Amino acid sequence: MNKCVTGDDEARNQFVEANKRIIYAAAAKLTGSQNTSIPGQDLDDLVQDVFVRIFKNDSNLLKTFDPGRASLSTWLTIVTRSTVLSRFRKKQIPTVSYEPDLHEGTMDETAEEESKPEFPEGLLSTRQKLIMTMLYEKEMDIAEIAENLGIEAQSVRSAKHKALEKLRKHYGVKD
């Protein structure tokens, strides 16, 4: 491992070969992927990002590894988790227009536009508005929303629940 830190390319290649299975397994588990393809992400790219992070800036991250605190596989799993979560956080959340389309249409289309829910300004976060719009206007299910936003289904359910709580409180509706 000392040769990896000093920049020996052969040592780095051996380190990668010896540890790539650990990183692949951790990345696949974190992304819920059983294969090498996940929506909007490529497992190979994630693994490569982990190794780039480990070796960048003269292997500064690798220098922080302390075998007295954790095994190498545990440390690699933690670095992988951090890298994957950072990548998902950096993803842009797609936006949905809240303004009705002003296309010429029938009275039925106009009535349908007017019946869409409106959210009080500043009450819901951007993500909550987006999720509520996708749920109720686009009629998407939780799994579809999670996949489109690149987040866990539980995060979608949580945002929906918090948004509904805020709306109930705002309108004085009790459970």
Specify the pLDDT at position 92: 47
The separation between CA 135 and the C-alpha centre of its own chain, rounded to angstroms, equals: 19
| φ, ψ (nearest 5 deg) of residue 21 | -65, -40
Domain boundary among 90, 117, 133: 90
* In a domain? residue 97: no
Q: Which residues pair with 42 in a beta bridge?
A: 37
What value does the mean pLDDT take over residues 93-120?
53
In this prediction, residue 111 has a pLDDT band, given cuts at 50, 70 and 90, of very low
**CATH number for position 161:** 1.10.10.10
Contact in structure between 145 and 39 (CB atoms under 8 Å): no
* In a domain? residue 56: yes
Domain boundary among 90, 123, 158: 90
pLDDT in tens, 64-83: 888 898 899 999 998 888 88
Q: Above pLDDT 90, what percent of the chain?
A: 13
Q: Are residues 8 and 81 in the same domain?
A: yes
What does the alpha-carbon distance between residue 160 and residue 153 come to, in Å, rounded to a whole number? 11
Domain boundary among 90, 124, 139: 90
Its pTM surpasses 0.85: no
DSSP for 142-158, please give it: HHHHHHHHTS-HHHHHH
Residue 143 in this model has a pLDDT that exceeds 80: yes
Q: Are residues 21 and 81 in the same domain?
A: yes
How many C-beta atoms lie closer than 10 Å to residue 86's C-beta? 11
Cα 102 to Cα 40, 130, 147, distances in angstroms? 32, 20, 29
Q: Are residues 9 and 82 in the same domain?
A: yes
Which segment of 5-14, 18-27, 50-59 scores lowest on mean pLDDT? 5-14
How many C-beta atoms lie closer than 10 Å to residue 75's C-beta? 20
* In a domain? residue 11: yes
- Residue 74: which domain range? 2-90
* In a domain? residue 154: yes
Q: Are residues 80 and 115 in the same domain?
A: no
Q: Are residues 68 and 126 in the same domain?
A: no
